[in-house]
Structure 1
Amino acid sequence: MTFSSQWAHSDNDGDSVGLGMGYNFNLGPFLMTLGGKAVYLNPKDGDEGYAIAAGGGAELPLGQYFTLFGEGYYSPDSMSSGVEDYVEANAGVRLNVLPSLNIEAGYRYIDMAGKDGNRDNTLADGAYAGVNFRF
């Protein structure tokens, strides 16, 4: 089992805060994750609400220190409120500094599609860098 939390902010498009849970399993050299996230949505243009997003990811170790990863989550209109749908995708590379600490860089896309005439709010669409703690 794996648990996660996240926060994304854009001065122009709002915020999202999420808690996730997933099941990890090995598939050949890959570590696969299937799971979901409960996400609080606060778009700059639109009503605040929530999304229950399903998705997963894959990790491919490249030796002792580096890992390639990708993940995606989606919530349709029927599983969200305040938005038409919610989409999140990340891909990149991690540097494993310590067993419980890694640094990552890659591409991130987070979008809250507008509803009831409100515009889309794209929180992220480009390169990013971050730090992860695993325990």
Structure 2
Amino acid sequence: MKVYLAAVATGLLLIAESANAISVNVQAGRHFTHTSAAIGDNSAGLSFNGNWARSDHNGQLGSLGTAFSLPVGPLTASIGGKALYLSPKDGKNGEALAAGVGLSWTVMPSLALYGEVYGAPPRLTSGIDSYAEAAGGLRFTVFKPLTVDAGYRVMNMRGKEGNRDNKLADGFYIGAGLNF
């Protein structure tokens, strides 16, 4: 009986795992790099993600988050949250809990416009005053699973107690990703 239950549990785990999508993306702009990895379908349902971003001059951050996406025709709306570890160049290291929304429009099967905004007010941050992030761009599927994207990204850790703001990103980027 134990062997049977173990076999069923393993089979269900493999079926559930094969239904999850995995994606890895890298974006680079002038003086910043942003990487991300996600599991789950980011176009419908629940997904989990991790991000790491660094600036040549203003520090770095890492985050773990989740998002729920709902497709409506060619549009996909998402809502999510992130737990961030912040390491500004000027100021104290800290944490933040950020909430955000995103919207993606599939213009053609191989072309999509996307945007997202995340923010954390002073009450949900430590070490900094507040956190804000916004990105928007165009994603082109060269062939499955390869995508390329270009857009604009802003990531800002607002300083407190006399420390200056630390902008991790404020400019155009190009990137590539693999989506399985």
- Shorter-normalised TM-score: what interval? over 0.9
1:49 is matched with which residue? 94
How far did 1:28 drift? 4.1
Residue aligned with 1:97, SS: strand
Residue aligned with 1:78, SS: helix
CA distance in 1: counterparts of 2:87 and 2:143, whole angstroms: 34
How far did 1:129 drift? 1.1
Q: Structure 1 stretch 77-86 or stretch 18-27: which is displaced more?
A: 18-27
CA distance in 1: counterparts of 2:146 and 2:105, whole angstroms: 17
Q: CA RMSD in A?
A: 1.3
Matched, 1:91 2:131: no
Tell me the alpha carbon deviations over residues 68-107 of structure 1, each in whole angstroms, 9 at most, x when there is no partner: 0000000011111111000000000001134443211100
Q: How does 1:1-135 map to 2 (within 5 A)?
A: 1-135=46-180
Percent identity over the alignment is 44
Choose between structure 1 and 2: higher strand proportion: 1
Instruction: List runs of 5+ in structure 2 lacking aligned partners.
Output: 1-45
CA contact (8 A) 2:74 2:107 kept: no
CA distance in 2: counterparts of 1:48 and 1:36, whole angstroms: 20
Residue aligned with 1:90, SS: strand
CA distance in 2: counterparts of 1:98 and 1:33, whole angstroms: 25
TM-score scaled by structure 2?
A: 0.71
Instruction: List runs of 5+ in structure 1 lacking aligned partners.
Output: none
Larger Rg: 2
Choose between structure 1 and 2: higher helix proportion: 2
TM-score scaled by structure 1?
A: 0.94
CA distance in 2: counterparts of 1:62 and 1:114, whole angstroms: 39
